[in-house]
Amino acid sequence: MKIVQVLLTAVIVIVAFGSNPGAAADLNDPYQIVNNFYDAIGGLDKIKAEKSSYYEAAVSMAGLEGTITQWSMSPIFSRQVFDLKVFKQTTGDNGEESWVVDGNGKLLIIKDEAALKRREISKLRADYDFLNRDSKNFRLTFEGIEKVNDVDCYVVKTSNSINDDITLDYYNTADFILIKSIEKHPDEETHVLLSDYRDANGIKRSFAQEVEVLPVGQKISIRIEKFESNPDIDPAIFEPPAEDVRDFTFTNGNKAEDIPFQFIGEHLYLPVNVNGREKLWILDTGAEMTVLTQKYADELGLEVKGNMKGSGAGNTIDVGFTTLPPFSLKGIEFDSQKVAVIEISQFFDRFGLDVSGILGYDFLSRFVTKVDYDNQTLSFYDPENFAYTGNGVMVETPLRGNMFNIPITIDGKYTGQCTMDLGAGTSNIHYAYAVANGLMDRPGIERIGMGAGGEFAERMLRFDSIEFGGFVLQKPIIDIGVTETKGAFSSKEQMGNLGNTLFRHFVLYLDYKNQRIFIEKGKSFDREFPEDKAGCQLWLNEKGQYEVRNAPAGTPAQKAGLMKGDIIKSINNIEMKSFGGYFAVADLFKADAGTTYDLMIERNGVEKRIKIELKELL
């Protein structure tokens, strides 16, 4: 689950106003257009003479009001504080590295490849290399004339040789005012409309911007209230905090070991105590923040503010924010935390689970976490004095969006970076990668995936092998996205998402501080885990009945005559309530091939008996 973190380090405060050097019909040289822009706002020499700046702005987004404060110094030194009260983020660059401090005070040094490439582009732009017609790094192209709010604009595209990002700038054909700018990344677009032009130290600048982040549709309104050109700035302000946050304590020494978890439906659940009451939470490395369900926030009487857009598996989601009181689990006590609130109780209800929250990055980033699937235990270690002594493999895994990013290879030829997501049951290849690598024509079992963002279509495929951390597993089942979505599985920059059907073969050590993991073979490394042999996807409907969500073509479920919407009343004349819950029923369909069951189903109010014989699906 990804929450949109609006890093407004690229807010545009320069805008053209002035002479009219060329007629719209005749001007199609993009370099001349951009140079006219700089001439119009005061001249490139004057702009280059501005070695530092400071501004304060009012910001409105997601039903919240706040402020942005930013210090900048040539070439790329920066510090920005984005404060919405319930959500605060500080970002910076000290000239050597970029960093971010989240709303709970956790420091992260940015190391992932995509971010490092964008930082390199920013350095080159700071040297105005894009104005050089012979640049090896940038290329400007004239894209024609388009209207923006009924104003004719020259459209200039800036592309680069470092990544696939492009920028589209829209200049008023009459006076070269920059009216609109679009920054396109493979996974995201930022659209900025500029207005309220003012002279500041001899340079025309926009003091108002309307920002929209796509595809999630998050809108931000920015009004600059104070601007200073060439202020004296202490370079120390651009440094990350000298000390990281310490908002937890171990109740015994510097670790908490062998905490039991329940492995239910390929997910990890453990009890968390808030206000003296234990409730079940899910552990999720794929969550950028710790999350409460709206139901649990209401139960605790917490005030929830805002309505930010985020990305969940399947689609976008609405995210609020609140403050969670101090909480604890076996061996660890936590201070109060800023957390996200999402309406996801209905997701867990479909599988008969009462889950109150998700322990994500804000929890996991404090520790080195050992996940032992065979013994179903978690151990948490203080990263300041942890030393790995096992015989496993260390893999550098730069965090991207607060999540581990891991290289894998499938069938010896499909390679890429994937999110490590302990909040996902299965592994997934994203739609964009599947299309680009010719996987869409491979036959498989059509299924319906479900996540925080709702339902999405996928196809279950059997591959020959998957290589992860130097270890090779044979005959893995991996899903591919078969339609384009707006959620967390829509990335074009990443190959896919790795879940627990892969990780359950290992013992993992997750070292967030050093952005690395240690991987050991588990006792179940060579184990062939039981797999579904019916192809029948069930959930619990609002009446608590076992309803068929999907019976894909070619599966035993479809051949037996099951259809979407059927209600299973009994199996082998045993009522469904006697099986011990949803996952016990799901396990029945993982029995040996050749096993048969007599089902009593209800369709449109009429009961009917059918027989299903299990077989290998792939």
Residue predicted with more confidence, 96 or 2: 96
Nearest 10 degrees: CA dihedral of 44, 50, 51, 57? -120
Picking from 331, 387, 407, 403, the residue whose alpha carbon sits closest to that of residue 509 is: 387
State the pLDDT at residue 98: 97
pTM for the predicted model, two decimal places:
0.93
Instruction: Please measure the distance between the N-terminal and C-terminal CA atoms of the chain and give it in whole angstroms.
Output: 29
State the pLDDT at residue 315: 63
State the pLDDT at residue 420: 97
State the pLDDT at residue 309: 77
Q: Given the DSSP bridges, would you call strands 445-451 and 454-462 parallel, antiparallel or unpaired? A: antiparallel
pLDDT in tens, 353-376: 999 999 999 999 999 999 999 999
| CA 91 to mean position of chain CA atoms | 18
What distance in Å separates the CA atoms of residue 296 and residue 217, rounded to the nearest whole number?
Answer: 27
Q: Which residue has the tokens 């030829």?
A: 413
Mean pLDDT of 549-562: 96
pLDDT in tens, 158-173: 999 999 999 999 999 9
What distance in Å separates the CA atoms of residue 566 and residue 578, rounded to the nearest whole number?
Answer: 19
Return the structure tokens found at 455: 């339902």
User: pLDDT-derived band of residue 12, with 50, 70 and 90 as boundaries?
Assistant: very low
Contacts of residue 581, defined as CB under 8 A and 6 or more positions apart, other chains included, come to 352
Q: How many CB atoms lie within 10 A of CB 338?
A: 19
Q: Which residue has the tokens 């004719």?
A: 152
Mean pLDDT of 194-207: 95
Residue predicted with more confidence, 132 or 4: 132
Return the structure tokens found at 175: 């006076």
Residue predicted with more confidence, 187 or 160: 160
What distance in Å separates the CA atoms of residue 176 and residue 22, rounded to the nearest whole number?
Answer: 10
pLDDT in tens, 294-311: 999 999 999 999 988 776
What distance in Å separates the CA atoms of residue 609 and residue 542, rounded to the nearest whole number?
Answer: 23
* Three-class secondary structure of residue 330 per DSSP: coil
Q: Which residue has the tokens 């270890």?
A: 471
State the pLDDT at residue 401: 87
Exposure string over 250-261, b if 16+ CB within 10 A, otherwise e? eeeeebbeebeb
State the pLDDT at residue 454: 72
What distance in Å separates the CA atoms of residue 230 and residue 201, rounded to the nearest whole number?
Answer: 9
User: pLDDT-derived band of residue 453, with 50, 70 and 90 as boundaries?
Assistant: low
pLDDT in tens, 20-43: 334 444 589 999 999 999 999 999
Phi, psi values for residue 294, rounded to 5°: -60, -35
What is the average pLDDT score of the chain? 92
State the pLDDT at residue 194: 97
Picking from 290, 285, 348, 361, the residue whose alpha carbon sits closest to that of residue 319 is: 290
Exposure string over 42-51, b if 16+ CB within 10 A, otherwise e? beeeeeeebe
pLDDT in tens, 487-537: 666 788 999 999 999 999 999 999 999 999 999 999 999 999 999 999 999
State the pLDDT at residue 557: 97
CA dist 582 → 467, 532, 577 (Å): 32, 14, 9
User: Could you give the maximum distance between any two Cα atoms of the chain, in Å?
Assistant: 86
User: pLDDT-derived band of residue 599, with 50, 70 and 90 as boundaries?
Assistant: very high
Asked whether the CA dihedral 217, 218, 223, 224 is positive or negative, the reply is negative
| Residue 287 contacts residue 408 (beta carbons within 8 Å) | no
Mean pLDDT of 178-191: 96
Residues, the chain? 618
Q: Kindly report the three-state secondary structure assignment for every residue of 361-391.
A: HHHHCCCEEEEECCCCEEEEECCCCCCCCCC
pLDDT in tens, 56-100: 999 999 889 999 999 999 999 999 999 998 889 999 999 999 999
* Three-class secondary structure of residue 133 per DSSP: coil
State the pLDDT at residue 128: 95
| CA 178 to mean position of chain CA atoms | 32
